[in-house]
Structure 1
Amino acid sequence: MSNAPTPAAGHMPKPGSQSALRQRNQRLIIETLRELGALSQAELARATGLSTATISNIVKALSAEGLTTTHPTTSSGRRALAVSLLETPEIAAGIDFGRSHVRVVLASPGLIVKAEKFAPLPVGHLASESIATAAAMLADLLAESGIERGQVKGAGVGVPGPIDHRTGTVIRGAILPEWVGVNIVARLEEALDMPIFADNDANLGALAQVTWGEHKAARDLVFLKIGSGIGAGLILNGAPYYGHTGITGEIGHATIFDQGLVCRCGNRGCLETVASTAVMIELLSRGESETLTVGAIIRHAMAGDSATLRVIDDAGMAVGRAIANVANMINPEIIVVGGPLAALGETLLNPIRRGLIRHAVPAIGEGTTVVMSSLGDRAEALGAISLALSRRGLPQDRR
């Protein structure tokens, strides 16, 4: 008996598979229609580079789903079939679970945010309690915005840790150890009564950069999230990269010091033990009357506090060293840094760049752009919306 997950379980098509190729072609057709308006099937073939047979098959499927309509027209004096993109009332939800928060966002296929809510969660929150909080927030948003539940065609969900996409289960190494072993897809589908598509938060951050951010044209991009944990989301050849089981970009567990501190993953000297916000808080709270917050660290850095700047510089250099190994392997066009320290801007980016240039092949280090994300702390939730839209086949505006 096969134990392969069903599409409703949030299964990610393998790159190069027929289903992945079909999804890419479908998105290409939708984006072309949204940008250029109604086109004949022959014009669509020329604009996309796809064969007329592929265009015909995908248009039939899109029309059956109510996403496109066709009508007779003429092209170069000949009768033809024009294809138009239909505006749809569908809504997608994005849910971002963090170490101490949950954010729920609703948006249209045109990437217009309709409503959103944020709520703090206690550190060490249990999956059952947090899922109940998210479900209540979603219900409140629908009521406040006048959106019917039936309009919500699916929800993308991000968690700060690796997810085995074969099973939809959170595995060891997550910032939320209380969630390890939880089938996040099944639990949320039961609670929300809609299709759920779950992913690691860094992967969703990367997806947000090429759908919501200013890097839509990037073909090879790394999104580096620095927070309580450190992870990297990969866009390779224009598409998210998930590897064999969906566990990629675990850069926070790259070894920086062989004799360093023991990490929560069980290894020693991982990047997270020297560069996460949790480590920065621990170092800078010594001698203080109360534990500092990330906000306090940012304020002290902006005020020029020497100890804070030293800790940030050391962390940035370590991050740059780790990301250099990734850059040497895949040669990305751009590395986008996100997470709660984004407000630091060049104060954090400069040491990351120095570490990258010092440890990468010179041509790669000097040719890779390193910038801060413009999406702030909404990136993961926005990426979750893009995930839900792509998995449900809804048109997504990437202009």
Structure 2
Amino acid sequence: MPRDTSPSPGSQSSLREANRSRIVAAVKRFGGLTQVELAAATGLSTATVSTIVKELASAGVVETQTTSRSGRRALRVTIARQAGLVAGVHIGPRAMAVALGDLAHEVVVEQSLPLPADHRADTTLDRVALLIVDLLERVGVDLDGLLSVGVAMAAPVEPGTGLIAVRGPLRSWADVPVAQVLTKRLARPVHVDSDAGLGAVAEHGLGAGRDVQDILYVRLSYGTSAGVILGGRLHRGGSGAAGEIGHVQVSPAGPVCLCGNRGCLDTEVGESALLEIVRPALGEVTLRDVVRRAQQGDPGCTRVLTDAARRAGQVVAGVVTVLDPQRVVVGGELAQAGPGVVEALRESVHRHALPHRFAPVDVVAGELGPRAELLGALELARKETDVEGVAR
């Protein structure tokens, strides 16, 4: 468990406030910790933790519950449910998903809906807002009980403006300030990031990367992208485009990509390229159809997806050589086709990355499946919520 070593202000009152914030941040991050675990995570003494937890419980910020650790009674601390709910949204090229969660990392309710190709931003954001309100009504919470919203977009997002940084499959969204539009509709704070980055956040905090500090989350989907966690933190890059491996050039004379360049990886392993390969045998099918057929053992569809993973692995190998992550976690729709996809990418990475005598990079399937990006959006909303301010 990482230890918070941030400096504390000098005065007694500011020190106490900093310690309160440190404890709340640790509980928010891990969803629930015993007081002993809180002491280890924050670097505070157990006596200080016990005193502050009592204050926070009295203020309605946290809840405590008796539990057992290694055969001994312990007090588990979680964020109070009455503090409110957060919403997570994942907007992709062909579907959207919305979930409500509490601040103790529990998903309360969720729903997904298909979207048409090249769906319009205004129509989709209207549906997102309506679905959030509908889900709140289902669980008996009014809009005032919604604290914040996190949105995972199938594109890199520029941190300063919140606009999509690289043109891609969400073509009509290029100049849409998603956070501003949803904030106007819901009158709640909205925070936006790339779905690959938020998938990485979720897998690092809750899934296959939770025991290491540096991971590369590779999202094999309608396009190929990656989220980078370094030192336990999401690395977005200066323009928000870190991890856009789908736009690494692999064939200088190749087809023109949606981004405007030639021969990007996505022109060989993206949705259009994969469907073009299977069309002579299968006719007009969707990427979801191809994945489903591979799940059912179709040898042709399986070959197409594993070949795509192997090609993507060559680019991932270059990123691994540069960043030296402890683990590569593979997610996205293609990874749902079966273990062969992840195995093909693993073989390719190990073949093309710089050989390491003692610690070759670990390449594993994600543990959160197709929900990783949605869970990451919920984590983004939780992170941006001032729990103590809500309680006051």
* TM-score, normalized by the shorter chain, greater than 0.5: yes
Q: Residues of 1 paired with 2:216 and 2:39: CA distance?
A: 31
Number of the residue aligned with 1:377: 370
For structure 2, the residue ranges without an aligned partner over 5 or more in a row are: 1-5, 9-17, 64-74
Q: Which residue of 1 aligns with 2:306?
A: 313
Give the residue type in structure 1 aligned to 2:301: T
Compared with structure 1, are the counterparts of its residues 60 and 246 closer, same or farther at alpha carbon in structure 2 (3 Å cutoff)?
A: farther
Offset at residue 63 of structure 1 (A):
8.8
**Whole-angstrom CA distance in 2 between matches of 1:292 and 1:221:** 34
Aligned counterpart for 1:161 among listed residues 155, 163, 174: 155
1:349 to 342, 348, 354: 342
Structure 1 residues 210, 393: CA separation in 2 closer, same or farther (over 3 Å shift)? Answer: farther
Offset of residue 101 of structure 1: 1.4
Q: Is 2:224 the partner of 1:224?
A: no
* Deviation sequence 1:299-348 (CA, Å, 0-9, x none): 44355544434322321121110101111111112111111122223211
Q: 1:269 to 1:185 in 2, by over 3 A?
A: same
> What does 1:64-213 align with in structure 2 at a 5 Å threshold?
67=61, 87-89=80-82, 90-213=84-207
| 8 Å contact kept, 1:232–1:249 | yes
Question: Comparing 340-349 with 262-271, which one deviates more in the overlay?
Answer: 340-349
| Higher deviation after alignment, 147-156 or 305-314 | 305-314
Contact 1:102 1:120 in 2 (8 A): yes
Q: Contact 2:91/2:152 (CA < 8 Å) preserved in 1?
A: yes
Q: How far apart, CA to CA, are the structure 1 residues paired with 2:294 and 2:225? A: 23
- Residues 1:31 and 1:293: Cα distance change in structure 2 (over 3 Å): closer
Equivalent of residue 27 in structure 1, options 14, 25, 28? 25
Aligned positions of 1:240-259 closer than 5 A: 240-259=234-253
- 3-state SS of the aligned residue for 1:387? helix
Cα 1:87–1:224 shift into 2, 3 Å: same
CA distance in 1, matches of 2:225, 2:386: 27
DSSP-derived class of the 2:240 partner? coil
Mean Cα deviation higher: 82-91 or 219-228: 82-91
Rounded Cα–Cα distance in structure 2 between residues aligned with 1:60 and 1:299: 51
Please show how residues 10-25 of structure 1 align to structure 2 within 5 Å. none
After superposition, the Cα gap between the structure-2 partners of 1:17 and 1:336, relative to the gap in structure 1 and judged at 3 Å, is farther
- Aligned-residue sequence identity (percent) comes to 32
What letter is aligned with 1:253?
Answer: H
Deviation of the 1:214 alpha carbon: 4.3
SS class of match (1:371) = strand
1:337 is aligned to 2:318: no
Q: What is the deviation of 1:286?
A: 2.3
Query: How far off its partner does 1:245 sit?
Result: 2.9
* 1:155 CA drift (Å): 0.5
Deviations 1:71-130 (A, max 9, x none): xxxxxxxxxxx9976524211100111112111100111121111111111111111100
Distance 1:99 1:33, change over 3 A: closer
Q: Give the length in aligned residue pairs.
A: 360
1:226 and 1:277 in contact (8 A); partners too: no
Give 1:27's aligned amino acid: A
Aligned counterpart, 2:320: 327
Change in Cα spacing, 1:159 to 1:64, as seen in structure 2 (3 Å) is farther
1:221-260: per-residue Cα shift (whole Å, max 9, x none)? Answer: 1111111111101111111112223221101001112222
- Partners in 1 of 2:268 and 2:139 — Cα distance? 44
CA contact under 8 A between 1:227 and 1:278: conserved in structure 2? no
What is the one-letter code of the residue matched to 1:233?
G
Indicate if the aligned counterparts of 1:185 and 1:196 stay in contact, CA closer than 8 A: yes
Alpha-carbon shift at residue 62 of structure 1 (Å): 7.2
Higher alpha-carbon deviation: 248-257 or 23-32: 23-32
Distance 1:266 1:64 in 2: 57
Q: In 2, are the aligned partners of 1:171 and 1:181 still within 8 Å (CA)? A: no
Within a 5 Å distance, the mapping from 1:42-57 to structure 2 comes to 48-49=42-43
Q: Which structure has the higher relative contact order (CA within 8 Å, separation 6+)?
A: 1
Q: 1-side partners of 2:256 and 2:106: how far apart? A: 44
Q: Is the 8 A contact 2:28 2:104 kept in 1?
A: no
Match of 2:272 among 261, 270, 278: 278
- Classify 1:292/1:359 alpha carbon distance in 2 versus 1 (closer, same or farther; 3 Å): same
1:158, 1:381 within 8 Å by CA — same for their partners in 2? yes
3-state SS, counterpart of residue 356 of structure 2: helix
How large is the Cα RMSD of the aligned pairs? 3.4
DSSP 3-state at the match of 1:388: helix
In structure 1, distance between residues paired with 2:271 and 2:247: 15
Q: Does the CA contact (< 8 Å) of 1:107 and 1:114 recur in 2?
A: yes
Native 8 Å contact 2:209 2:329 kept in 1: no
Task: Note closer, same or farther for the CA distance 1:314–1:190 as it changes in structure 2 (3 Å cut).
Answer: same
